[in-house]
Amino acid sequence: MVDYLLQNFQAPNPALVQTLISQAQASQQAFEGEYLGQVERFKRWLNSRLH
């Protein structure tokens, strides 16, 4: 892993940075989608228990 980090992060690497940004954005969107889905499932579950 250290070799990878040294090879890719010693000098500016715009392509790698853009790839990492894209991956981070995709991860954030996936996380938010999963979170919102869980919130909705919990709301439905709670609603079914209260009524």
pLDDT in tens, 9-45: 888 889 998 999 999 999 999 999 999 999 999 999 9
CA distances (Å), 37 to each of 16, 19, 20, in order? 31, 27, 26
Distance CA 8, CA 47 (A): 51
Judging by beta carbons within 10 Å of its beta carbon (0-12, 13-18, 19+), is residue 25 exposed, middle or buried? exposed
Per-residue pLDDT at 44: 98
pTM tops 0.75: no
